[in-house]
Amino acid sequence: MITVALAGKPNAGKSTFYTAATMADVDVANYPFTTIDANRGVTHVRTRCPCLDRETRCGNENCRDGKRYVPIELLDVAGLVPGAHEGRGLGNQFLDELTNADVILNVVDASGGTNAEGEPVPVGTRDPLEDVTFIEREMDLWLAGIVDRNWEAVERKSRSPEFDVDEAITELLTGFGASEADVAAVLRNVEYPEDPIAWEDEDRERLARRLRRRTKPIVVVANKADVAPPENLERLRTETDGSVVFATADGELALRRAEESGAIDYDPGDDDFEIRADLTDAQREGLETVREVMAKFDGTGVQTALDAAVYDRLDRFTAYPVQDASKWTDARGNVLPDAVLLSRGSTPRDLAYAVHTDIGEGYLHAIDARSNRRIGEDHELSEGDVVKIVSTAGQ
């Protein structure tokens, strides 16, 4: 399953984001990963369910009227402070946790109401752009530190006649969440000395920085947007590389709680909600304040940030394997039972492997359930494809 990690300084709103995003799962008891441990839970990305192209909705527990929620894992990493890569505030331990993440949500306090350490200061004091860059810098220095610490071993190996510098670096870095392909791609694009002894700190830092950018893409979550001064929002909009999502994590938490108690109709990612039950004036007022913020930012930003991380930054799309190509069901008659997040460029065979890791040589071919036609071996699947896999096992 894809893992999204929440990183940021203390008090940026990570736990609030995490609680809101993972909350719906309290009810989904039949899901095996509902609570993995204290800071690892299940949340969802949202997409358009293919059942909208049929006469009736699919009825899947993860589909609400055609809004399809696809499970992913969410990791809440404790607050990082400047100097984390040197171990400040248990920083190394927390940075190590990011090794397990495919993509990172960098939660910043857009209001500028907390200093570098996360302590409260008057709103507008701290420049939120500093929060954006500090996490990236800490991650780069952390990875550079790992390379540094292991460099002696690389130097030692270089005395052997079979030594290959690319191989040695790949071996060193694949232990930290990078694939061989990632390391190879980075090494192709940097100039470096063949002899490890001739490497300077700068070479190692450049390698770490490039590798981090490639293996840990980041979406900036400009949280506390509800109380952020307009100039902060403007700066964040224009001076980041465009992957910033404005959010109100505690607005989302209020909505999820109200929805759970039956007070409102709201599906995560909607840009508005409807009040259903009698509320006290104070409750109504609280929710109306959230509504005003949502109108400004097209929603609370929590779902938008998760979707941006997985669909935009990781470039994934959703495909739906079925066993019956005309009814779009599995063997038990469940309509569109599974939604699988695949990397761009994936073929039907990749989908087959994602669903049945043990399919081996059993894969025969695939059928596009929308057109009922056989799909070629090299055909690249795309968002919303419904696919029947035909294998020797009769799947």
Ligand X SMILES: Nc1nc2c(ncn2[C@@H]2O[C@H](COP(=O)(O)OP(=O)(O)OP(=O)(O)O)[C@@H](O)[C@H]2O)c(=O)[nH]1
The amino acid that residue 393 corresponds to is A
- Distance in Å, CB of 8 to ligand X, minimum: 6
Q: Which residues between 46 and 65 bind ligand X (CB under 6 A)?
A: none
Of the candidates 151, 160, 161, the one whose C-alpha atom is nearest the C-alpha of residue 196 is 151
- Does 250 bind ligand X (CB under 6 A)? Our answer is yes
Residues 6+ apart with CB under 8 A from 206: 190
Where helices occur in the chain by DSSP H, the ranges are 14-22, 91-97, 128-157, 165-174, 180-188, 201-215, 230-239, 249-260, 281-297, 302-307, 348-355
Q: How far is the CB of 186 from ligand X (least distance, A)?
A: 31
**Cα atoms in the Cβ-side hemisphere of radius 13 Å centred on 349:** 9
Please report, in angstroms and rounded to a whole number, the separation of the first and last CA atoms in the chain. 22
Comparing CB distances to ligand X, the nearer of 35 and 382 is 35
CB of 123 to ligand X, least distance (A): 9
Q: Does 223 bind ligand X (CB under 6 A)?
A: yes
- Closest by alpha carbon to 372, among 324, 312, 310? 324
Does 301 interact with ligand X (rule: CB under 6 A)? no
Q: Is residue 224 within the footprint of ligand X (CB under 6 A)?
A: yes
Smaller CB separation from ligand X, 251 or 384: 251
Tell me the window of 23-31, 190-198, 221-229, 384-392 that interacts with ligand X (CB under 6 A): 221-229
Under DSSP, is residue 373 helix (H, G, I), strand (E, B) or coil? strand
Shortest CA distance to 143 belongs to which of 173, 112, 121?
173
> How many of the chain's residues bind ligand X (CB under 6 A)?
19
Enclosing H/E stretch for 90 = none
Among 226, 259, 307, 385, binds ligand X (CB under 6 A): 226
Q: Strands 67-76, 63-64: parallel, antiparallel or unpaired by DSSP?
A: antiparallel
**Which amino acid is it at 275?**
I
Q: What does the alpha-carbon distance between residue 193 and residue 394 come to, in Å, rounded to a whole number?
A: 54
Considering only 248, 303, 304, 346, the residue that binds ligand X (CB under 6 A) is 248
Span from 93-101, 177-185, 224-232, 386-394 in contact with ligand X (CB under 6 A) = 224-232
Task: Determine contact, residues 303/248, Cβ cutoff 8 Å.
Answer: no
Burial class (CB in 10 A: 0-12, 13-18, 19+), 193: exposed
DSSP state of 226: G
Residue 209 in contact with ligand X, rule: CB under 6 A: no
Residue nearest to ligand X (CB): 79
Q: Which is nearer to ligand X, 11 or 60 (CB)?
A: 11
* Structure-block tokens of residue 393: 């096992």
Residue 84 vs 207, nearer CB to ligand X: 84
Min dist CB 10 to ligand X, Å, is 3
With tokens 């530190």, the residue in question is: 145
Q: Which of residues 74-133 bind ligand X (CB under 6 A)?
A: 78-79, 118
**CB-wise, 264 or 389, nearer to ligand X?**
264
In whole angstroms, how close is the CB of 45 to ligand X at the nearest point?
20
Binding mask 1-20 for ligand X (x = CB under 6 A): -------x-xxxxxxx----
What's the CA gap between 394 and 372, in Å, rounded?
17
Q: Contact region for ligand X (CB under 6 A) — 182-190, 193-201, 229-237, 244-252?
A: 244-252
Q: DSSP 3-state assignment of 345?
A: coil
> Which residue number, 17 or 320, has a Cβ lying nearer to ligand X?
17
Give the nearest distance from C-beta 336 to ligand X in angstroms.
34
- List residues binding ligand X (CB under 6 A): 8, 10-16, 78-79, 118, 223-224, 226-227, 248-251
